[in-house]
Amino acid sequence: MLDAARVRGKDRALTREASLLLYLDGHSGIRFRSRLDTFPCHALFEGRARLGQVGKSTPLTDPIPELIAVAREYGLTLAN
């Protein structure tokens, strides 16, 4: 029986096994849901996939309010 709590736990045996099967079948990566917040995650197989930019880039030298808030939350200081 497939137990969802076990599949989404820290022991990612099923994810690793599925990744291996996809890799051996020639695929470039796998998409799965995060066990922390259920948002989608992507794992790309090295040498088979490439990331491409979509849309306009955002320079990291400009102040990013969300980044500043997270850094402050974790007690981090951003430096140029």
Q: Which domain holds residue 28?
A: 1-49
Q: Tell me whether residue 27 is in a domain.
A: yes
The answer to whether the CB of 32 falls within 8 A of the CB of 40 is yes
pTM for the structure as a whole = 0.48
Could you give the number of structural domains in the chain?
A: 1
Tokens found for residue 25: 């079948």
Q: Tell me whether residue 80 is in a domain.
A: no
Tens digits of pLDDT across the chain (80 residues)? 777 777 777 777 887 888 889 999 999 988 888 878 878 888 888 888 888 889 998 777 777 889 889 999 999 988 76
Q: Tell me whether residue 73 is in a domain.
A: no
The answer to whether the Cα torsion of 44, 47, 48, 52 is positive or negative is positive
Q: Tell me whether residue 2 is in a domain.
A: yes
Using left for φ > 0, alpha for ψ between -120 and 50, and beta otherwise, residue 46 falls in: beta
Q: Tell me whether residue 13 is in a domain.
A: yes
Interior angle at CA 8, CA 7 and CA 13, nearest 5: 45
